[in-house]
Chain A
Amino acid sequence: MLNDFFIRALVAGIGIALVTGPCGCFIIWRRFSFFAGTLAHSALLGVTMAVFFEINIAFAVFLISTSLAIILLQLQKKTKLPNDALLGLLAHASLAVGLVILGFLSSIRFDIMGLLFGDILAVNQIDLMFIWIGGALILVILKIIWKPLFASTVNYELAEAEGMKPDRANAIFTILMAAIIAISIKIVGLLLITGMLIIPAAMARNISNNPQQMVFLSVVGGLLSVVIGLFSSLEFNTPSGPSIITAALILFCFSLIKFKKYSELKK
């Protein structure tokens, strides 16, 4: 039997998969997966802020993730530490600070597990609205900046020389990443959102030979992961977020078989 909450979770998950599909491709192409993970880790701080100031969680997470991206840019200018060290620093520092502040707010009961791994039961109408309206907005903006973003992914200087304004596209994409994390944190959880972004896109890479195809297959992979994951979560009583990611992993493994065949064929 399908309950209301399950339908809501399904609708939410489908909305998220439609957005993470194309964005995940860019994250893989640009080697941004660790960056996306760092933004996701900062979401805990965002949630804490939301609870403290009594504002919408998605909105607070979006603000904090965007600020974190700006802080990263400043750090990159101020020190010569390698990027991965800075990202690790920010990811775990923001997670720790979020948990410390949460400790001070001991009067508020909080479902930490739900935050880390996603909570199907917690999805309400407002979340759905945020996911679908926010998601549609993200996709529209991504469509607008697609060409400059893609050109700068292939070669920054070429994009700059031929007037594509890559800096602007890159900055907008960072904001889009923060927005995706904000709308999907509740259903997939902050530890697993990077998986949702990367695994379907990685799967798609194995079985595609042009960018459009990879984006399409990444969306299909994400949708399948959500549907399979949620139904098995219902069937086996497993947590929703991890079930979705596990489904994505299984699809990825299948894509490896196809990829092997394809490579052999080429030889």
Chain B
Amino acid sequence: MNKNNKKTLVKVEKAGLKINGKSLVDGVSFEVRQGEIVTLIGPNGSGKSTTAKIALGIHNNIEGVAKKFTDKIGYVPQKISIDWTLPIRVIDFMFLTNDLKNEQINVALNLTGVEHLKQKNVSDLSGGEFQRVLIARAIAKKPEFLVLDEPVQGVDFKGEIAIYELIKKISEEFNCGILLISHDLHMVMSATDYVICLNGHVCCSGKPHVVAQDNRYKELFGDRASKVLTLYEHKHDHTHSQDGTINRK
């Protein structure tokens, strides 16, 4: 496929949001195209979730422009709590915004490894299990644009790697654009095309290995992050091919 011919799914230009005079995020611009994974990273309160919500059109009084060019959207919010008063099984939850076929539901639940939980009540799931259900629900209808806000929270380390691999696979197979929010770059590095480092504004952005070397990134995340990245860089050498594309093991 011609790389320049990819359809733009979401375009955010100089977008910002102020609530009660306090700026949550300011002057953010980016685009998500088909088959592309854009990752937002940044410390707590740096406006990652707000930026994702701006891209999704959830906030209406934003500065700047946010345009969606697709209606097929899947969203995994950072926090979702379902009250006990609402009895809802995983299968009911899967139908939340879509009319799906049973087969589509099974495939999606199977991909995230929670097919056996289908008839279980959502309030009986563990945090990690629920997270997998959330992802399954978002991908079941094969969205064109997928937003994943901290998709691996509560998931164990092994599951975390599996989910990032799944995200990569989804982006390739469905040819959908993904906006991914994460707080650790080294985990998502191999699965991302473009990184935006946020701290209330865009602190630095670019290809993942460029951002990882950026001093502003190192400053923002401190010594520990740089060390983790150094560690990563070591592994990184072995998974880098000649033309610079990143290969997974």
Contacts and interface: CB of A to CB of B under 8 A. Distances in A.
Interface of A: 28-29, 147, 150-151, 153-155, 157-164, 205, 208-214
Given A29-B83, A159-B97, A161-B73, A154 B88 contact: yes
Given A150-B96, A155-B77, A155-B80, A205 B88 contact: no
10 contacts: A29-B85, A153-B86, A155-B77, A158-B77, A158-B97, A159-B96, A160-B57, A161-B73, A209-B89, A210-B87
A211 B86 contact: yes
B56 A154 contact: no
Q: Is the interface of B mostly helix, strand, loop or mixed?
A: loop
A208 B87 contact: yes
Interface in B19-71: 53, 56-58, 71
Contacts of A211: 86-88, 92
Given A160-B57, A210-B88, A211-B86, 19 more contacts: A151-B96, A154-B82, A154-B86, A154-B88, A157-B53, A158-B80, A160-B56, A161-B57, A161-B73, A162-B73, A163-B73, A163-B97, A164-B97, A205-B85, A205-B87, A210-B87, A211-B87, A211-B88, A211-B92
B56 A161 contact: yes
B85 A213 contact: no
A147 to B, nearest CB: 7
A157 B74 contact: no
5 tightest Cβ-Cβ pairs between the two chains A and B: A161-B75, A161-B56, A162-B97, A29-B86, A160-B58
B109 interface: no
B93 interface: yes
Contacts of B88: 154, 210-211
A161 B121 contact: no
Contacts of A213: 87
Contacts of A157: 53, 56, 58, 75, 77
Given A209-B121, A210-B89, A211-B88, A158 B75 contact: yes
A123 B210 CA distance: 77
Interface residues of B, number: 23
A161 B58 contact: yes
A28 B85 CA distance: 7
Contacts of A153: 86
Contacts of A159: 96-97
A162 B58 CA distance: 10
A35 to B, nearest CB: 15
Given A163-B73, A209-B121, A158 B96 contact: yes
A162 B75 contact: yes
A244 B98 CA distance: 38
B147 interface: yes
B126 to A, nearest CB: 15
B97 A214 contact: no
Interface string B197-224: 0000000000000000000000000000
A29 B86 CA distance: 6
B39 to A, nearest CB: 18
A212 to B, nearest CB: 8
Contacts of A155: 77, 80
Nearest to A206: B87
B188 to A, nearest CB: 21
A170 B77 CA distance: 20
Contact of A154 (B58, B71, B73, B93): B93
Nearest to A155: B80
A209 B89 CA distance: 7
Contact of B97 (A28, A151, A205, A209): A151
A188 B58 CA distance: 40
A157 B106 CA distance: 25
A218 B57 CA distance: 36
A211 B96 CA distance: 11
A201 to B, nearest CB: 9
A28 B88 CA distance: 14
B194 to A, nearest CB: 21
Contacts of A214: 87
A210 B92 contact: yes
B57 A154 contact: no
A154 B94 CA distance: 12
A242 B89 CA distance: 35
